[in-house]
């Protein structure tokens, strides 16, 4: 669940009952904007968004709502313009009030380009076959965050959709450098690489066209140019989603390719937003969230080793806790704007927020890529309490919560047979995925043990 953080001054007025945090009346979800209770005037934006979660209750996912708001969600997975209500409204109105939002969107596009390059480059280490734990640890969540920071700081250059991993990972040891050379010589990966270069080229072409479209004052010209953008993005997307390419690689490689596809999908969503098509934006965001859950389930089902699990669990946890939360909030913002009457839209248009103050706070509180991601710390903790099959199922339950009922039903039935009176379905509904998956496999083992003893 997303919670928004405001400046101390705004929070004091919220606590005093002067301001209220805006909600989407249809869903009850919060919007990162406050308004004056008495006048209805929109008065400020959130400076931070955090995920409230029972496993890691205070995880920052976005620091600031200003210049970096469209930037990546840490590991370069879904990258969304979680703009304030005012900023989204101004984008919809064709940037009539201010050009600040144009700079935000342009920064986001540049961030998307870098992210796809970093994610794609890690496949040069993963390759197409099963990768060892040492190899996967060189490009895991934490290392990918560091690579993204190096690209952001211009210490690494993205060229043809790849970066020089020998240079980037020179401190990782000879085995990693040797692996990069081996992958480079693999004929199948060479074929994949050529396809990725082609896909990234189309993606880059599309983002350049998008920047051009943003400069058009004529809405018809902008619409035509954005249609060309989507055609190029669709061609790139078809390569990343190629069933043949995906079937020829391991689970870790599949995840990286899906991540590239999700970033391109979001660029398509952004093109609809720039075209003032909120219904299309909402629909595509809904589809994308569903696709992310489906794709990650395929990756989980493809996991074959504990080493792959060590790579996947923190990554997929980040995707669930951060990226899906941001996409949901983006959709919530759009749906909220669609329901506003004209009188409310006029109030929003007349609002005057302070983007400079927000940007400064963003710089002060930004999370460094040098910190160990909490998802890795969480996984290390869970490994002490679970085994391989349970951890796989915990990921499945996280990404496909509708599966929980099947697990809960099995546990409650088996616990009744074993006369464990407290493991009823109502109680299990309050349990964590860790507890449900562990109990499931505990009873599975009990059920299978007699049969094994008879063999």
In terms of average pLDDT, the best of 66-80, 83-97, 104-118, 134-148 is: 134-148
Note the pTM of the prediction, 2 decimals: 0.86
Give pLDDT, residue 11. 94
Band (260; pLDDT cuts 50, 70, 90): very high
**Average model confidence (pLDDT) across the chain:** 83
Distance CA 438, CA 78 (A): 30
Give pLDDT, residue 353. 66
Give pLDDT, residue 358. 41
Give pLDDT, residue 455. 43
Give pLDDT, residue 106. 78
Residue predicted with more confidence, 365 or 105 = 105
Domain boundaries, the chain: 59-372, 400-454
Give pLDDT, residue 149. 86
Asked if residue 85 has pLDDT above 80, the reply is no
Please report, for residues 69, 75, 77, 142, 194, the alpha-carbon distance to residue 64 in angstroms, rounded to integers and kept in the order given. Answer: 6, 17, 18, 22, 38
Cross-strand bridge partners of residue 23: 30
Among 1-15, 17-31, 60-74, 144-158, which stretch is predicted with the lowest mean pLDDT?
60-74
Give pLDDT, residue 58. 34
Give pLDDT, residue 59. 36
What's the gap between Cα 260 and its chain centre?
11
pLDDT in tens, 402-454: 999 999 999 999 999 988 888 998 999 999 999 999 999 999 998 877 654 44
User: Helix, strand or coil for residue 356?
Assistant: helix
As given in the structure block, the two tokens for residue 344 are 């409310």
Give pLDDT, residue 368. 55
What is the C-alpha radius of gyration for the chain, rounded to an integer number of angstroms?
23
pLDDT in tens, 278-305: 999 999 999 999 999 999 999 999 999 9
Under 8 Å between Cβ of 394 and 387: no
The three-state (H, E, C) secondary structure of 359-424, written as one string: HHHHHHHCCCCCCCCHHHHHHHHHHCCCCHHHHHHHHHHHHCHHHHHHHHHHHHHHHHHCCCCCCC
Give pLDDT, residue 102. 66
pLDDT in tens, 301-321: 999 999 999 999 999 999 998
Mean pLDDT of 273-279: 88
pLDDT in tens, 334-368: 898 888 888 888 888 777 765 544 433 333 333 45
DSSP state of 320: I
Q: What is the percent of the chain where pLDDT is above 90? A: 51
In terms of average pLDDT, the best of 56-60, 107-111, 396-400 is: 396-400
As given in the structure block, the two tokens for residue 54 are 């029972």
pLDDT in tens, 72-83: 332 333 334 444
Distance CA 401, CA 283 (A): 21
pLDDT in tens, 22-75: 998 888 888 888 999 999 999 888 877 776 654 443 333 333 333 232 233 323
**Helices (H), ranges, 32-99:** 85-92
Give pLDDT, residue 125. 92
Under 8 Å between Cβ of 269 and 281: yes
Band (124; pLDDT cuts 50, 70, 90): very high
Under 8 Å between Cβ of 58 and 365: no
């Amino acid at each position: 669940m997303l919670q928004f953080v405001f400046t101390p001054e705004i929070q004091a007025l919220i606590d005093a009952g002067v301001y209220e945090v805006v909600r989407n009346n249809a869903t009850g979800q919060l919007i990162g904007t406050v308004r004056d209770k008495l006048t209805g005037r929109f008065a400020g934006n959130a400076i931070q968004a955090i995920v409230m979660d029972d496993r890691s209750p205070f995880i920052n996912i976005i620091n600031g709502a200003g210049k970096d708001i469209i930037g990546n969600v840490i590991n370069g997975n879904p990258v969304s313009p979680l703009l304030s209500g005012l900023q989204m409204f101004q984008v919809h109105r064709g940037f009539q009030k201010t050009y600040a939002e144009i700079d935000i969107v342009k920064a986001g596009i540049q961030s998307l380009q870098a992210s796809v390059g970093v994610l794609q480059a890690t496949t040069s280490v993963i390759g197409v076959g099963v990768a060892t734990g040492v190899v996967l640890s060189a490009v895991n969540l934490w290392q990918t965050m560091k690579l993204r920071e190096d690209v952001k700081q211009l210490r690494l250059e993205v060229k043809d959709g790849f970066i020089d991993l020998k240079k980037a990972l020179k401190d990782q040891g000879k085995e990693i450098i040797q692996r990069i050379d081996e992958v480079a010589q693999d004929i199948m990966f060479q074929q994949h690489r050529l396809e990725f270069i082609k896909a990234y080229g189309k993606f880059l072409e599309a983002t350049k066209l998008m920047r051009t479209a943003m400069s058009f004052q004529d809405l018809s010209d902008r619409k035509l140019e954005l249609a060309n953008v989507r055609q190029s993005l669709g061609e790139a997307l078809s390569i990343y989603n190629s069933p043949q390419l995906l079937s020829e690689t391991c689970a870790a490689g599949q995840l990286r390719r899906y991540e590239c596809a999700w970033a391109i999908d979001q660029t398509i969503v952004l093109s609809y937003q720039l075209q003032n098509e909120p219904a299309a934006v909402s629909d595509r965001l809904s589809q994308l969230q569903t696709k992310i859950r489906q794709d990650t389930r395929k990756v989980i089902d493809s996991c074959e080793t504990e080493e792959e699990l060590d790579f996947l669990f923190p990554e997929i946890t980040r995707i669930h806790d951060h990226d899906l939360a941001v996409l949901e909030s983006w959709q919530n913002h759009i749906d909220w704007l669609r329901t506003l009457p004209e009188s409310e839209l006029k109030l929003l248009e007349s609002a005057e927020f302070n983007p400079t103050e927000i940007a400064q706070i963003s710089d002060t509180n930004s999370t460094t890529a040098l910190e160990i991601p909490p998802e890795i710390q969480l996984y290390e903790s869970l490994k002490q309490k679970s085994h391989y099959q349970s951890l796989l199922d915990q990921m499945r339950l996280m990404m496909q919560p509708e599966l929980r009922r099947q697990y809960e039903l099995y546990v409650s039935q088996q616990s009744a047979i074993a006369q464990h009176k407290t493991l009823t379905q109502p109680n299990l509904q309050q349990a964590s995925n860790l507890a449900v998956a562990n109990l499931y496999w505990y009873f599975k083992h009990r059920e299978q043990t007699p049969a094994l003893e008879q063999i």
